[in-house]
Amino acid sequence: MLALKKTLNNYKDVVLLGFIAILIGILVGAIDTLFGKVLLEITNIRSNHVFQLIPFLPLAGILIIFTYSKIGKNSIKGMSLIFSVGFEEEDTIPKRLVPLVMVSTWLTHLFGGSAGREGVAVQIGGTVAHSIGRRLSIRNSSKILLITGMSAGFAGLFQTPIAAIFFAMEVLTAGSIEYCALFPCIVASFVASYTSHALGLEKFSVNLNCSLDLNAYLVVKVVLLGILFGIIGGLFAHILNLSKKFFSKRINNPILRIFILGCILSVLLLLLHKGRYAGLGTNLIGASFFNDKIYGYDWLLKFLLTILTLSAGFQGGEVTPLFSIGSCLGAIVSSILGLPIEFAAALGYVAVFGSATNTILAPIFIGVEVFGYDYLPYFFVVSAIAYVFNGNKSIYSAQKILDDLN
């Protein structure tokens, strides 16, 4: 009887978490839609007024840091705070994090900072869900719903729910998957994705339509690309973490740091193809897949300017710039290996992201949800090889490594 009662209680908890996950998915999907639509409009405004807006990037940086210092509490920690709460090193996430990270990211992009957006979505989802989880008496509910919210945030913004599920479950500890959150993650991710889609947020997808013969030569080429993308993603993560530490030590005052680096950034962004490397990098992604001009150094300049932007203290994320770095690099090396440009760009799109985040399942499903399930074997091989060759580095400095815990 005791065993039956325990089983029934477990089922009751699972059902309750499922219902809560529906609410989280709707709420986070709606917030993601607002954030994403405004960000797209801001990107269009900046693209049309490059010389009028980018010079004011340093002043936008001062406003961001000043606001966080006055009312942000520990919200400035961003993704590190989400990880700390996941590991129970911190108890709460201030609700003010949501509006602060949204507005500061909008400012970063309006004035040309080279940054992403996934960090914002994950922080939004994690904050909303964790505030609910803390009120439940279900065992481990805070961590379960934190992960659930992270998956909902990622899914609502990118509309890749399966990738979002695995990203949230595997990103906290490299080499470990938090299966305790599987069911609510599934529910919240799909609900958030459908919600943002229903509210008019568009999903990025590409019909590759590549004719490929699966043979030993092709597999060798994909493996070589996996090694290259793994090294590049690992280098991005490593240099980003070193750069943040270097500038924080050299320029201790965060307002002075963001102003000085913001001045350097604004000059570089204007000199280097008049804002080509500002913002998310979706222009470079589009060029990689739709036969526009790609320079051999596009991936490297986006690589460096994104690191400088985030090291300065500007807000956003790394994932979309990583997508652009990978797709540009794939497009460049495609001719060397004799592969279709869009195919190599797709492999770079997923593998550099996976390498830099130290994840393996998420990039595989990013690939199939963006480019199609026909290419699943290639995404599996390139993501697995990239994971092996990334040097166990991650853009999330608070991420734990399973081997280090044993």
3-state secondary structure of 174: strand
CB atoms within 10 A of CB 374: 12
Q: State the helix-helix crossing angle for 97-110 and 57-71, rounded to 10 degrees.
A: 170
DSSP labels, 244-280: HHHHHHHS-SHHHHHHHHHHHHHHHHHHTTTTTTSTT
- CATH topology (fold) of 216-405: Clc chloride channel (1.10.3080)
CB atoms within 10 A of CB 103: 16
Superfamily holding 2-198: Clc chloride channel (1.10.3080.10)
Say how many Å lie between the first and final Cα of the chain, rounded. Answer: 37
Model confidence band, residue 337 (pLDDT cutoffs 50, 70, 90): very high
**Residues pairing with 401 in the sheet:** 174
* Residue that is written with structure tokens 């497009």 in the block: 331
* Res 404 pLDDT > 90: no
Equal CATH topology for 2-198 and 216-405: yes
Alpha helices in 159-215 (DSSP H): 161-171, 182-198
Q: How far apart are CA 80 and CA 144, in angstroms?
A: 17
**Domain residue limits, the chain:** 2-198, 216-405
Query: Mind listing the pLDDT tens digit for each residue in 228-277?
Result: 999 999 999 999 999 999 999 999 999 999 999 999 999 999 999 999 99
pLDDT attached to residue 4: 67
pLDDT attached to residue 403: 67
Residue 212 tokens read as 């490929």
* Averaged pLDDT for residues 70-85: 88
Query: Mind listing the pLDDT tens digit for each residue in 94-107?
Result: 999 999 999 999 99
* 19-23, 76-80, 152-156: least confidently modelled range: 76-80
Q: How far apart are CA 377 and CA 228, in angstroms?
A: 18
